[in-house]
Structures are given as structure tokens and as C-alpha cells.
Amino acid sequence: MITVHHLNDSRSHRILWLLEELGLPYAVEYYRRDPQTRLAPPELLAVHPLGKAPVIVDDGRVMAESGAIIDYLIRRHGGGRLQPAPDTPAYDDYVHWLHFAEGSAMLPLILNLYAGRLGAAAAPVQPRIDSQVASHLAYVDGALQGRPYLLGDSLTAADIQLSFIGEVAGAQGRRGAYPDLDGWNRRMQDRPAYQAAVAKGGPYALAR
């Protein structure tokens, strides 16, 4: 049995969603952010030294980092589902999007979150942050033009991994300028497996 150590309002939602899409049995251990600091509770340090979520435990193996967890679950339990065949060009695009989500797109959105909390002190760097956020969101929007999913007509785990970027952008009020990205994110949230993950993991709302 796969156990997901799940933190509310976090990347661990997409692990629950992936497991629901795959139809795999799993158990959930629940953790809640501190309502003032929004930090994860110290109990997560007993699960993994980073003290963050998501973390999964599968047959005694402890895995952290959402991208690594998604890759692991697809390889070990996916049975060929939710990814292109590894010997096709589409697989290279799939790997690109898996890494792009956290390797490129997430950083400026996180910086924007922190800048918002700093207020006027962040004014010198805010234009650079805005430029980078716009560049990354426009890139995703362009890739989705004329197609329902990142790689064409079928959902892959890359959509699940990248969906968090669209959700953070939405929470920051920046997604509406990118209609293909916005429509894609809304379609993802309408999927029965996404809704099942929300029901299992609890209310899901990202802070600005």
C-alpha cells in the first residue's frame, strides 16, 4: 500500500490526483500548515529530513519531491499509462514538461509570493519578477494553443505536474491573461479524479 504524507494546500495534492487517475489504492497521513506562518508542521521531519510534503512511502521506500514521486509512480505502477512510449519523440517533450514545472516556472511565482509579502521593499526586483512570470506563463499558453493537453489529445502525468503552476498563477491573479492556460487548468479541475483527490485530501486553496 502506498502512503501519501499529505500537507494541505500544497504540491502533495497532485500526488493524490495522480493516484486517483491511475486507480491505485493508497492511504493518506494528514498534516496541516501553521495558520500564521503557513509552514509545514515539524512532525514531517520525522518522515523525511526536508520536513516538506509530498512524501510517499511505498513498500518501505521513502520518496520526496513531487516530480520524482510522479516519475516513480508512473514507472513502477503506471503500467504504461499517463506517459508516451519512451522510444517516441513525445516522451522527450513529456520529460521536458515534468522538469520545466519546478525547474523553471515555479521560481518566479514563488519570488512573486515573497515580494508581495515584502511590499515596497521588493519594488526594485518586482519588474524582473513580473517579466519572468509573464515569459513562463506565455510559454505554457502557447504550447496549449489548439490542444486539450500538453502533448495533444491525451492527459499525461506532465499535465498533472504542471497544473500546480497554473493554480499558483491563478491564486496570484495572473492566469486570466492566458486563455489557453486558463482553460486547460479549469478542465483539469473538472476531472473526476481531480475532484476525488480534493475529497480525499481536503479543501484545496492556494494563498496569494
User: What would the pLDDT profile of 73-105 be if each residue is shown by its tens digit?
Assistant: 999 999 999 999 999 999 999 999 999 999 999
Report which secondary-structure segment, H or E, holds 74.
helix 66-77
- What is the predicted pLDDT for the residue at 35? 87
What value does the mean pLDDT take over residues 175-182?
97
pLDDT grade for 185, boundaries at 50, 70 and 90: very high
Per residue in 154-173, pLDDT (tens digit) is: 999 999 999 999 999 999 99
Per residue in 129-157, pLDDT (tens digit) is: 999 999 999 999 999 999 999 999 999 99
What are the phi and psi torsion angles at 13 (to 5°)? -60, -40
Going 127 to 158 to 94 to 98, the CA torsion angle's sign is positive
pLDDT grade for 207, boundaries at 50, 70 and 90: low
- What is the predicted pLDDT for the residue at 204? 80
Counting beta carbons within 10 angstroms of the beta carbon of residue 118, is it exposed (0 to 12), middle (13 to 18) or buried (19 or more)?
A: exposed
Per residue in 17-61, pLDDT (tens digit) is: 999 999 999 999 999 999 888 889 999 999 999 999 999 999 999
What are the strands, taking DSSP E only, across 54-208?
55-58, 61-64
Taking 80 as the threshold, does the pLDDT of residue 208 lie above it?
no
Q: Domains of the chain (ranges plus CATH)?
A: 2-82+193-201 (3.40.30.10), 89-191 (1.20.1050.10)
What are the phi and psi torsion angles at 52 (to 5°)? -125, 170
Tell me if 150 sits within 8 A of 105, measured CB to CB.
no
